[in-house]
Amino acid sequence: MATFHFKLEQVRIYRKRLEEEAMQKLALALAQRDALQKRLLDLENDLNAQMQRLSRSDLLSSAERWLLQSYVKALKQEKHFCAKALDEADNMVDIRRAELTQKARERDLLDTLKTKQAARHALLERQEERKNNDETATLRYRPAAV
């Protein structure tokens, strides 16, 4: 019996490697997005705290008030830039997810082809074995002498 050999095995292995690389890129994009989400949340919390502090301005000198207003302005600007970066990170996650889906589909196509070819090979091997057994049985058969 001949063993099954998938002719496109190297291509399948290569596509699996590409899929794993796409998975790593997606994981990196997700980590970057999560870091930006955390940074944005921290900025919002800090901004809210500073706004509350600014609302109690009767306790602040004019210099402290000016400094706090400048800090709040910088926080708002940083929050704006962080929100833009988060949008870009979300887009990158979508792109990476689409790439991973495509790579998985390509590898899965070859896996399916390999499975079908292996099943066909097994069927042909069984048929060949049956044929050989039938021929052997026919050759060994000796009818009873009459």
Q: What pLDDT, on the 0 to 100 scale, is given for residue 58?
A: 76
The tokens for 49 are 């705290």
> What is the pTM assigned to this prediction?
0.76
The tokens for 27 are 């994981």
**Please, how many CA atoms are within 13 Å of residue 122, restricted to the half-sphere of its CB?**
6
Q: What pLDDT, on the 0 to 100 scale, is given for residue 1?
A: 66
Interatomic CA distance for residues 43 and 61, integer angstroms:
25
Q: What pLDDT, on the 0 to 100 scale, is given for residue 60?
A: 74
Contacts of 43 (CB under 8 A, 6+ apart): 75, 78, 79, 82
pLDDT in tens, the chain (146 residues): 689 999 999 999 999 999 999 999 999 999 999 999 999 999 999 999 999 988 887 777 888 889 999 999 999 999 999 999 999 999 999 999 999 999 999 999 999 999 999 999 999 999 999 999 888 888 887 777 66
Q: What pLDDT, on the 0 to 100 scale, is given for residue 63?
A: 86
- The neighbour count for residue 107, using CB atoms within 10 Å, is 20
DSSP summary character for residue 57: G
Q: What pLDDT, on the 0 to 100 scale, is given for residue 146?
A: 60
